[in-house]
Amino acid sequence: MSRFEIAEFGLGVKGVKRLTLGDARGSLTRLFCAQDLATAGWNKPISQVNWVENNMRGTVRGFHYQIAPFAEDKLLFCMDGEMHDVVIDVRRGSNSFMQHVAVNLSAERGDGLLIPAGFAHGYQCLSYDVKLIYFHSASHSPSSERGLNPLDPTLKIKWPLAVENLSERDQKHALINMTFEGDQF
């Protein structure tokens, strides 16, 4: 029996809901199982695990991705609070190139996403104290990291709240017509 419910959100992005088992003593929630997640498309070893804490409602982080040879699958779970998650296809030649999927994730519901390599990821905090855990199939490589500007009007992202606390780095990401020069997966 799988401890995850998998849903297709489009573009190859999958929703992953953690199922919790519990009784009077407490509960157990599985965060990763290679066998269960293989059916959803995760077929690589975990190379890195990151914990992210966000204090302010409205905070936007992203859009981040890595190019080959460090292109990475990501499995993330919202562990506290609620967030609006956006995933953009940045694979040149893809039928869905530059299309995006947006979904709200909640810790209370056990929500997460499985994001394949070749997708940029960003999110906005819909509550205070949003916490996430990320599982990555490749280690962070500064020379391979890329990003899209979350305020780029070409992306047509509809953030649910006013954008707050956008890092200087994310503000400086080039616009789409300049970003993809030479990037390939």
Active site residues: 64, 134
As a three-state string, the secondary structure of the chain is: CCCEEEEEEECCEEEEEECEEEECCEEEECCCCHHHHHCCCCCCCCCEEEEEEECCCCEEEEEEEECCCCCCCEEEEEEECEEEEEEEECCCCCCCCCCEEEEEEECCCCCEEEECCCEEEEEEECCCCEEEEEEECCCCCCCCEEECCCCCHHHCCCCCCCCECCCHHHHCCCCHHHHCCCCCC
Q: Are 120 and 77 in contact (CB under 8 A)?
A: no
Count CA atoms closer than 13 A to 19's CA, side-chain side. Answer: 9
Residue of 108, 105, 114 lying closest to 135 (CA atoms): 114
